[in-house]
Structure 1
């Protein structure tokens, strides 16, 4: 089932997250097709010297470091908040609270997990709508940014960043 986002003109367009996944899946099919047709093998394309991320810090086939893990986790969490329902059921509210609780106990970085657990106690999750959850998560992310010496993000722009794309059209 394809999900759709509605832009400011009320037009429906494929969900960015789903579209990106489908693009990725198509790319993976062509990699495997090339392998089965005698082209470059998948293993030859996954080498420790081939960067995966734009930063070049993460290499294919190698364990991620805390920076890549953190960046990936924040993208997942913000995207979850962006697609969270505007009118969630009680079960959906409980599920997201449970998810964050479990994350605070199982996150691979012990220091980060403990910090998340403390933050959840100080400012409990607000999950009454996508907007509430997105803003709560942005405040949490900004607290972490301050702790690690990064600039704060303008929380009025969370939907542009993780749901709709920038107003200048650069994500289209």
Structure 2
């Protein structure tokens, strides 16, 4: 369901412009003019922390405390401590791996990408089990569910875009195949704007993905 893009439009006031310019690339501004965490991917929300000082210390053979500790350990073991052993020690024990891409810990609130994946999974799966010949009650409830998203979805940027799309391309709840195809088309529209691969919206492929699994039985 994620539709957010970097630095979404906000208020034209000078204060919001100042706030926007001070944000890291990819951070999205909410309708209140403030950074919107649930509208932003975690990698933009909290990017990797650079450690230039630590890297510099490693290049110089470690800190003085590390050198002293290595020397004392060498004397205690009776092996002595020479320039070559110092160099070897600093190239092994004091080496620190390069910073890795900061990933969101499992205990953190969802970001826009996790929320989007979970929402699409729920909607596609619900459509896969929707009746082929829905009753009026089925249709009314499905429409209520879909029409609630632009109002209740936590990411306001995504919700607004979905609401605008639904005005020009209303949900088709006439059958299971029609609903599944409509959702697939909405998902593809989002994926296209995000530069992601599109799905095959044929009902056979949708059923394979969201209901029956592949024919090779690998998901059974």
* Coarse TM-score class (shorter-chain normalised): 0.5 to 0.7
Residue 58 of structure 1 deviates from its aligned partner by: 4.8
**Pairing 1:117–2:174 present:** no
Q: How many pairs align? A: 117
Query: Given the superposition, is the C-alpha separation of residues 132 and 57 from structure 1 closer, same or farther in structure 2, using an over 3 Å criterion?
Result: farther
| Partner residue in 1 for 2:213 | 165
| Partner residue in 2 for 1:52 | none
Q: TM-score, normalised by structure 1?
A: 0.65
Maintained 8 Å contact 1:82/1:134: yes
Higher relative contact order (CA 8 A, sep 6+): 2
Residue ranges of structure 2 left out of the alignment (5+ in a row)? 1-101
Maintained 8 Å contact 1:58/1:68: no
* The structure with more radius of gyration: 2
Q: In 2, Cα distance between the equivalents of 1:138 and 1:58?
A: 28
**Pairing 1:82–2:128 present:** yes
Residue 132 of structure 1 deviates from its aligned partner by: 0.7
Residue ranges of structure 1 left out of the alignment (5+ in a row)? 1-55
The SS at the match of 1:77 is helix
2:182 to 130, 136, 139: 136
Q: TM-score, normalised by structure 2?
A: 0.51
Residue 168 of structure 1 deviates from its aligned partner by: 2.4
Residue 94 of structure 1 deviates from its aligned partner by: 1.1
Q: CA RMSD in A?
A: 1.4
| Partner residue in 1 for 2:192 | 146
